[in-house]
Every structure is written in structure tokens, then in C-alpha cells.
Chain A
Amino acid sequence: MLVLTRKVGETILIGEDIKITLVRIEDDQVRIGISAPKDVPVYRKELVEEIGIENIRAAEAARKGAEALEKLSKVKPIPKHNSEKQPKKSSKD
């Protein structure tokens, strides 16, 4: 792994399109600004790992919880207030 030393406000370029700027340091926290093309996903690693674990748990729970689901299958949606709400297409990109 390449390790670089940077001061607050300084930036690292990765390729031509990705910029990583050190925004602020506070105790043991570092605030980092990332500018990348919209087709480059940027996620916190622990979030991706947590989602992977939750997916596996969800699959296991669905296997084991089959009986409990018998009654769930009778559950109806709660009355909707704005059910027509749909995912927004991002306008900021």
C-alpha cells in the first residue's frame, strides 16, 4: 500500500478523475472529501461489509423462520399515505 503524508486542505489525485482532499482532522477522526466520476461508486468499507453480513443473515432467517412467516403472509400493508412515492432519479449528477 502506498502511504502519503498530507496536510489539511491538500489533495491526492488518483488517475485523472478522482480527487481525495483532506478536509479536517479532529482527535482521531479525519474528514475526507472525495470527488469521483458518477460511475465510480464510493462507499464506506464497513457499510458494504455490514450489508453483506445482513444479506446472509436475511437468507438464513428466511430459511429458519418459515413457520413464523405463515402468519406474516396474512399481514396486509398499513394504510398508505403516499404510496405513490417512487425513488427519485438523482438530479445532482
Chain B
Amino acid sequence: MIIETVRFGELEIDPETILEMPEGLVGIDKAKRFCLLQESSDSAFKWLQMVDEPGLAFVVINPYDFFPDYELEVCESDAELLGMEAPEDAFVLALLTLGPEGREITANLVAPVVIGTKTRRAKQVILEDERYTTKHPLVGDALQATDSAAG
């Protein structure tokens, strides 16, 4: 199927790869169907593009790439929604917020998007975990990588 996106123009995507988010994103209830796009296969950054809204997209990372100690628990009812019987049945994305120059990048670790790989259903999970906030700076190795990549 063809979807419209502001960033990538028209894209042909496999409907099988669409992620359904029945509850939407927190504060953006209409955001219910997404696809995951990647500009280059070895990039740490991906795009979570809303299927029905060309202008709505998020930059996301696998939080474990940048925060190796990150931990989250998926409660029983969410595990059921996502069709998750074992930890391997899901993967996690953290939404990024970027400063104007692409600096001051922060990751939202308190509300990651968990995706059930068997069901392709996703949910933005809220962690009542005091270690995590909506703004964890991507620092250290990650930003050095940005600088060296920018050359």
C-alpha cells in the first residue's frame, strides 16, 4: 500500500508491517497506525511514521543502544494486549526530542513504545519508575558518534 509522508514523500509499504496502537500515543489519541522507517540500515535512528497522518512522525531509538542498563517491566494486561508470552516477543522504542540544531537530544525513557512482534500491536507504556523521566540526554559515546559522523 502507498502511504503519504512529509519527510519521505510517497512510500510503498507492506501492510503486514503496520504497527497497530489501539490506545494511541499519550496525548495524541488519533495516532493508532504506524510504520517503522529507517534511512540507512546501520543507523541507530529510526522513524515511527503515522500511516494516516503524513506530517506526524517521531525519531526513535532502541533505548538499549544508548542506555544499556535500561529496564522496564510490562504488566500482565499489557503483555496480553501485545501478545507477549516471553521477553523475546517484544521490542522497545524510545521517542526522541531534538533541539533546534539536532543537539540536546533527549530520549523519553519513562514512556517507551513496546511492540509485540507476534501481533504487531504496540502500546506506549507508562513506567511509574523514579529512575526514568521524559528527558534523558543522549550523551557521551552517543554524541561523540554524532560529531564524528558529522565529520
In contact, B134 and A51 (Cβ under 8 angstroms): yes
Contact call A90/B76, Cβ cutoff below 8 A: yes
Contact call A52/B97, Cβ cutoff below 8 A: no
Q: Are A64 and B26 in contact (CB under 8 A)?
A: no
Q: Bound state CA distance, A80 and B45, in angstroms?
A: 15
A5 on interface, CB distance cutoff 8 Å? no
B149 touches A71 (CB 8 A): yes
Binary CB contact string for chain A from 15 to 54 against chain B (1 if under 8 A, 0 otherwise): 0000000000000000000000011011110011111111
> Which bracket fits the contact residues of A?
35 or more
B114 engages A87 (CB within 8 Å) = yes
Binding site for A on B (CB under 8 A): 6-7, 25-28, 39-40, 42-45, 47, 55-59, 62, 64-66, 68, 70-77, 79, 84, 86-88, 90-92, 95-103, 105, 108, 110-111, 114, 124, 126, 128, 134-135, 141-142, 145-146, 149-150
